[in-house]
């Protein structure tokens, strides 16, 4: 089974020590907090609510909100039934499995009351009183209003029940001991229900509510501390990691070649591709897939809010597509990369190629080539690219089987020097080998 790496902070290389340190920190606080707040009582089971009890309007709203919350992404195993859980989420602490959130009374949440559901979503406590891992992003979901959680509850309770027992997690000692999570919560779980800002308009506030709450955008786009909690304040949205991909900064330090606007964000978030910025690859694909099914006004609101985060970015004139001199220089320095590009990539990506005349983003505007880390470019080359929504034009084939690590490194170095002014990437061959190895993990 392919594992989803739930570890937005997972740096991939050389950070094991930091995580052990973080783990120890959490343990110490956890033990301290143990006697205090570790114990949460179980809530009584209820008989599963009848489908007819929920108005159609509530169900439709719940479906849209669940799409923005990405519940299906984490709660569906590859090839599995939606919401029945069982997806493996690799973390620096071991593997966690998502659980069944269909209304099956024995193995799902069929006997959960709305109160039990809201407690899980806000406080990360299961119906039986045990603490849940923050892989369920309750630090975000606790900002969601009551009525919206009721609607999501109604939506889930009206799915077809599926019998799917939880799989045992495989975490390093002692983190399998759930009461320790009380310590993590004591330190990091302080978010309040969202309150609108009076100095902003309704669209901005709606966008902020959705992005900070259900959308949990900063869960991937912000860096994380040693204990895996998001950095806040000025570090919020300054870029993070998700499943080995870099989630670019969305604040004033955005590395995008062309500054994002609310309109281009809307197009990107709604369709997965914006002609002046690139396409949504990797873990951003499922996010876009969810947003493509959400109400259009909500996606516009999210775009308005996200655009405001980088409003202080020093304006950059749109870069001209790579100049001929630049292309010649890149080829002179790296002839191997240039000829690989001409043979394997130019048919789609070179100026004037059929794909480029359809208004697709040119590589000079793609953020993957502007980032400090080469991971996204390498992953795109090895895995290829499928549009996350609809029949949105050509797909990029995976090159993992046809290119060696040296060739991937040559190509990445060539792309960087041809399409970006930023410093050259280093240790590319090792990076390619690491990505390849991570992807081949069972």
Scan residues 84-113 and list those touching ligand HEC (CB under 6 A). Answer: 89, 96, 98-99, 101, 109
Q: What is the largest CA-CA distance in the chain?
A: 72
Distance of CA 23 to the CA centre of its chain: 23
Scan residues 391-420 and list those touching ligand HEC (CB under 6 A). Answer: 394, 396, 399, 411, 415
Instruction: Out of 33, 77, 157, 217, name the contact with ligand HEC by CB under 6 A.
Output: 217
Q: Which helix (H) or strand (E) holds 135?
A: none
The torsion angles phi and psi of 218, rounded to 5 degrees, stand at -70, -15
The torsion angles phi and psi of 220, rounded to 5 degrees, stand at -105, -35
Closest CA to 430 of 18, 12, 6: 12
Instruction: Out of 229, 281, 301, 413, name the contact with ligand HEC by CB under 6 A.
Output: 281
Minimum CB separation of residue 97 from ligand HEC in Å reads: 7
Scan residues 181-210 and list those touching ligand HEC (CB under 6 A). Answer: none
Q: Which is nearer to ligand HEC, 29 or 369 (CB)?
A: 369
Scan residues 260-279 and list those touching ligand HEC (CB under 6 A). Answer: 265, 268-269, 273, 277-279
Which range touches ligand HEC (CB under 6 A), out of 36-44, 52-60, 216-224, 424-432?
A: 216-224
How many residues bind to ligand HEC according to rule CB under 6 A? Answer: 76
Minimum CB separation of residue 226 from ligand HEC in Å reads: 20
Instruction: Out of 381, 382, 413, 432, name the contact with ligand HEC by CB under 6 A.
Output: 381
Q: Which is nearer to ligand HEC, 180 or 345 (CB)?
A: 345
Q: Which is nearer to ligand HEC, 198 or 314 (CB)?
A: 314
Q: Are strands 278-279 and 245-247 parallel, antiparallel or unpaired?
A: unpaired
Closest CA to 438 of 411, 400, 388, 404: 400
**Other beta carbons less than 10 A from residue 24's beta carbon:** 13
Minimum CB separation of residue 343 from ligand HEC in Å reads: 8
Minimum CB separation of residue 16 from ligand HEC in Å reads: 22
| 161/94 Cα distance (integer angstroms) | 29
Instruction: Out of 220, 262, 338, 413, name the contact with ligand HEC by CB under 6 A.
Output: 220
Scan residues 350-379 and list those touching ligand HEC (CB under 6 A). Answer: 355, 360-361, 366-369, 376-377
- Three-state SS sequence of 406-430: HHHHHHHHHHHHHHCCCCCCCCHHH
Closest CA to 286 of 387, 398, 392: 387
Cα dihedral angle (424, 430, 431, 432), rounded to 10 degrees? 110
Q: Which is nearer to ligand HEC, 33 or 366 (CB)?
A: 366
Q: Which is nearer to ligand HEC, 22 or 278 (CB)?
A: 278
Q: For residue 282, state whether it binds ligand HEC (rule: CB under 6 A).
A: yes
Q: For residue 164, state whether it binds ligand HEC (rule: CB under 6 A).
A: no
Residue 156: left (phi > 0), alpha (psi -120 to 50), or beta?
alpha
Q: Which is nearer to ligand HEC, 27 or 355 (CB)?
A: 355
Q: Which is nearer to ligand HEC, 15 or 17 (CB)?
A: 15
Query: What SS3 state is found at 389?
Result: coil
Spell out a b/e string for 255-264, using b for 16 or more CB atoms within 10 Å of the CB, else e. Answer: bbbbbbebeb
Which range touches ligand HEC (CB under 6 A), out of 18-26, 66-74, 308-316, 318-326?
A: 66-74
Angle between helices 405-419 and 335-344 (to 10 degrees): 90
Scan residues 333-352 and list those touching ligand HEC (CB under 6 A). Answer: 344-345, 347-349
Minimum CB separation of residue 437 from ligand HEC in Å reads: 19
Q: For residue 382, state whether it binds ligand HEC (rule: CB under 6 A).
A: no
Q: Which is nearer to ligand HEC, 113 or 225 (CB)?
A: 113
Q: Which is nearer to ligand HEC, 58 or 254 (CB)?
A: 254
| 366/29 Cα distance (integer angstroms) | 43
Scan residues 121-160 and list those touching ligand HEC (CB under 6 A). Answer: 126, 132-133, 135-137, 152
Scan residues 14-33 and list those touching ligand HEC (CB under 6 A). Answer: none
DSSP letter for each residue of 176-241:
T-GGGHHHHHHHH---------TTS-HHHHHHHHHHHTTT-THHHHS-B-TTSPBP-GGGTTS-EE
| 140/227 Cα distance (integer angstroms) | 17
Show the site string, 314-333: x = touches ligand HEC by CB under 6 A, - = not.
Answer: --------------------
């Amino acid at each position: 089974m392919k594992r989803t790496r739930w570890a937005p902070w997972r740096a991939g290389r050389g950070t094991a020590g930091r995580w052990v340190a973080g783990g120890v920190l959490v343990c110490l606080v956890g033990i301290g907090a143990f006697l205090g707040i570790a114990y949460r009582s179980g809530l009584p089971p209820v008989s599963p609510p009848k489908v007819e009890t929920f108005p159609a309007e509530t169900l439709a709203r719940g479906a849209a909100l669940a799409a923005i919350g990405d519940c299906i992404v984490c709660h569906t195993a590859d090839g599995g039934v939606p919401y029945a859980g069982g997806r493996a989420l690799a973390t620096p602490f071991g593997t966690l499995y998502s659980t069944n959130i269909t209304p099956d009374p024995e193995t799902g949440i069929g006997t959960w009351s709305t109160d039990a559901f809201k407690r899980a979503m806000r406080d990360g406590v299961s119906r039986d009183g045990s603490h849940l891992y923050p892989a369920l992003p309750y630090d975000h979901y606790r900002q969601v209003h009551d009525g919206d959680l009721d609607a999501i509850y109604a939506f889930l309770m009206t799915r077809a029940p599926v019998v799917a027992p939880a799989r045992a997690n495989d975490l390093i000692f002692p983190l399998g001991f759930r009461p320790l999570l009380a310590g993590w919560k004591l330190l990091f779980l302080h978010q309040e229900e969202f309150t609108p800002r009076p100095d902003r308009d309704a669209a901005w506030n709606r966008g902020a509510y959705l992005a900070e709450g259900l959308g949990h955008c900063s869960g991937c786009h912000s860096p994380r501390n040693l204990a895996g909690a998001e950095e806040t304040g000025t570090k919020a949205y300054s870029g993070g990691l998700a499943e080995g991909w870099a989630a670019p900064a969305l604040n004033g330090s955005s590395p995008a070649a062309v500054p994002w606007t609310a309109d281009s964000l809307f197009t990107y978030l709604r369709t997965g591709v914006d002609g002046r910025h690139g396409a949504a690859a990797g873990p951003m694909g499922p996010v876009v897939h969810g947003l493509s099914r959400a109400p259009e006004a909500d996606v516009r609101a999210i775009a308005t809010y996200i655009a405001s985060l980088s409003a202080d970015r020093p304006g950059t004139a749109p870069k001209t597509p790579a100049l001929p001199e630049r292309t010649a220089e890149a080829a002179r320095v790296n002839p191997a990369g240039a000829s690989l590009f001409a043979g394997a990539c130019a048919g789609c990506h070179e100026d004037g190629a059929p794909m480029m005349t359809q208004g697709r983003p040119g590589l000079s505007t793609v953020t993957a080539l502007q980032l400090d880390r080469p991971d996204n470019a390498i992953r795109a080359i090895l895995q290829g690219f499928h549009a996350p929504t609809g029949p949105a034009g050509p797909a990029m084939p995976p090159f993992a089987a046809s290119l060696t690590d040296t060739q991937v490194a040559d190509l990445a170095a060539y792309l960087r020097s041809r399409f970006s002014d930023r410093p050259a990437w280093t240790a590319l061959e090792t990076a390619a080998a690491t990505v390849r190895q991570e992807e081949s993990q069972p």
